[in-house]
Amino acid sequence: MWSLSRRAWLQATGFASLAGSLVGGARAAGQSAGSAPHPRHDAHVMGTVGRTSPDAFDATAYLRTWNFSDLPAEERSKFYRETPRGDGTLLREYEIYAADREIEIAPGLFFPAWTYNGQVPGPTIRATEGDRIRVTFRNLGTHPHSIHFHGWHPPAMDGALAGQEVHPGETFVYEFDADPFGLHLYHCHTVPLKRHIHKGLYGAFIIDPKEGRPPADELVMVMNAFDTNFDVENEMYAVNTIANAYMHEPIRVRVGQLVRMYLVNLTEFDPVNSLHLHGMFFDVYRTGTSLTPSEKTDTLMLCQGERAILETMFRYPGDFMFHAHQSEFAELGWMGLFRAEGAPTT
C-alpha cells in the first residue's frame, strides 16, 4: 500500500518540472545581487519519467472507445449487444461489473481502485436519443456499490436511494430510455459518496441527438485525480487517469478536421477542475442538451460532475499543449499534448 505525502510522491516519481524549478531556484540564489535573478531550467522536462503498462489500461485507446468498440466482435458481445426495435431505435445491453483492482496511475505507482470492468474511468456508454438502455450490473467487489446514471429515469433506476446499493455478489438490472441527448456521466452513488467516486467508480455516458452531430474525430476525456495516501487531498491529477499519458504519447489529430472532445469532470476533493488548450479557441456545449454552443473560449472551468463538449479545428501542424489551468494540477500530472498533422489551413 502506498502512503506518500504530496512532496515525497513528487520526488519518488521524478516530476522533473518541479525538480527543475527547485534546481533553478537554488542556482539563482547563489548568484550575485547585481545579476538578473532569473532561474535556470536546465532539467525542465515536464511530467513523469517512464511509462505505465498499456496492457491494463491504454489511455490512447480509451479516448476513442465506446460501447466496448476496442474488443474483437466475439469478446465484445459478452459486454455489449444491440438489437433493433420496431420504431427504428436500438435496445443496447451492457454487462458492467464492479471489481477491486490495483491500477497504475503513474509509472510504478499503483492505486487500490474500485473499478467498473477493471478500468478507471469505466467503459464509455454511448447511445442515441430514444434508444433503450439495459445495464446488468454485477457487484464482484468487496463493498456495496451501484450505478447512478444522469438523465431521465424513474426513481427505481436511480441507484442512489435508500436500499438501492447492490451488495457484493448481487446483481441489479438498470433499464431506462436514453434521454435527453447530451454528454452525461455515471457513477457509484453508495455512501460515503466521495470515497466511492474517488476510488474510481465513474464513466462517461454519451447520448447522441437523433439527427447526429457533424462528423468529427471524437475523444473522451475524463478529468480525474487520486488521493494516494487517503488524507482527503489529491496527490495526482490527470485526464483519463494516467499522469501525463498524453505528454508521452500525444493525441494525434488532423489539421483542418473537426475535433470533438467529450470532457467530464470527476475530480473528487477539489471543487473545480479546468482545461486550457494552447494556440486556439474552441466552441463549448456545456452540461445540458443543446446543439448551440454557449461560448467560444480557450479555458473552461467545470465543477465536479459538470461536463462540456468542446469543438475545434486545428489550423496549424505541430504540438499543442493542454492542461488544467490550476498550475498545481498541471504539475501533478494533468498536462498533455495534441499533435496535429497535415498542411496548415491558413
Q: Residues interacting with Cu ion, by CB under 5 A?
A: 145, 188, 190, 196, 201
With residues binned 3-state (H G I as helix, E B as strand, rest as coil), the percentages for the chain, rounded to 5, are: 15, 40, 50
Q: How far apart are CA 42 and CA 322, in angstroms?
A: 22
- The least distance separating Cu ion from the CB of residue 161, rounded to whole angstroms, comes to 14
- The least distance separating Cu ion from the CB of residue 168, rounded to whole angstroms, comes to 11
Q: Which is nearer to Cu ion, 199 or 248 (CB)?
A: 199
Q: What are phi and psi for residue 239, nearest 5 degrees? A: -110, 125
DSSP designation for 305: T
Q: Which is nearer to Cu ion, 191 or 232 (CB)?
A: 191
Q: Which is nearer to Cu ion, 101 or 196 (CB)?
A: 196
- Burial code (b: 16+ CB inside 10 Å, e: under 16) for 266-289 equals bbbebeebbbbbeeeebbbbbbee
**Residues facing residue 90 across a β-bridge:** 84
Which residue, among 143, 233, 156, 223, has the nearest Cα to 191 in the 3D structure? 143
Give the DSSP H or E segment for 60: helix 59-63
Q: How far apart are CA 14 and CA 55, in angstroms?
A: 23
Q: Which is nearer to Cu ion, 157 or 188 (CB)?
A: 188
Q: Which is nearer to Cu ion, 128 or 139 (CB)?
A: 139
Q: Which is nearer to Cu ion, 218 or 227 (CB)?
A: 227
- The least distance separating Cu ion from the CB of residue 235, rounded to whole angstroms, comes to 21
For residues 265 and 215, the answer to whether their CB atoms sit within 8 Å is no
Q: Which is nearer to Cu ion, 170 or 341 (CB)?
A: 170
**CA angle, 66 as apex, 62 and 72 as ends, to 5°?**
85
On the question of a cis peptide bond just before residue 192, with omega within 30 degrees of 0, the verdict is yes
- The least distance separating Cu ion from the CB of residue 188, rounded to whole angstroms, comes to 3
- The least distance separating Cu ion from the CB of residue 191, rounded to whole angstroms, comes to 9
- The least distance separating Cu ion from the CB of residue 106, rounded to whole angstroms, comes to 24
- The least distance separating Cu ion from the CB of residue 167, rounded to whole angstroms, comes to 11
Which residue, among 88, 92, 44, 38, has the nearest Cα to 68 in the 3D structure? 92
